[in-house]
Amino acid sequence: MIQSLLSPRHYDARRLIALKVVFPTCCGVDVHKRFLVATIITTSADSVQPHYQKKRFSTFNSDLNRFADWLRANDCLDVCMESTGKYWVPVFNILEKRGIRTVIANP
């Protein structure tokens, strides 16, 4: 049986390490052929728990522009995108034109 690393058996509050928040608001994107799934993660100075917003968009240009609008509306200018193949290219081009910093991560 596999137990979670955060289960009481493995959890020790004395060994917790404080991590510095580098991007208070950022977005992770998984790009597929016909759609993308994006999650904006927002942290605030007064809260330990991050806030998550998840949305799905088609890969048509009109929806990719709605995606960029959604990022801007949430003050999210940093995106990390995972994509297999060439499907990331139109997404990257639209975000770049809109001034959103985008990094491609290939697993």
Number of Cβ within 10 Å of residue 3's Cβ equals 9
With contact defined as beta carbons under 8 Å apart, do 54 and 47 qualify? no
With contact defined as beta carbons under 8 Å apart, do 95 and 36 qualify? no
Whole-model pTM: value is: 0.79
- The CATH fold of domain 20-105: Nucleotidyltransferase; domain 5 (3.30.420)
Percent of the chain with pLDDT over 70: 80
Q: To which residue do tokens 């137990």 refer?
A: 3
Please list the residues that pair with 79 across neighbouring strands. Answer: 27, 102
Q: Which helix (H) or strand (E) holds 31?
A: strand 25-31
Q: Which residue has the higher pLDDT, 85 or 70?
A: 70
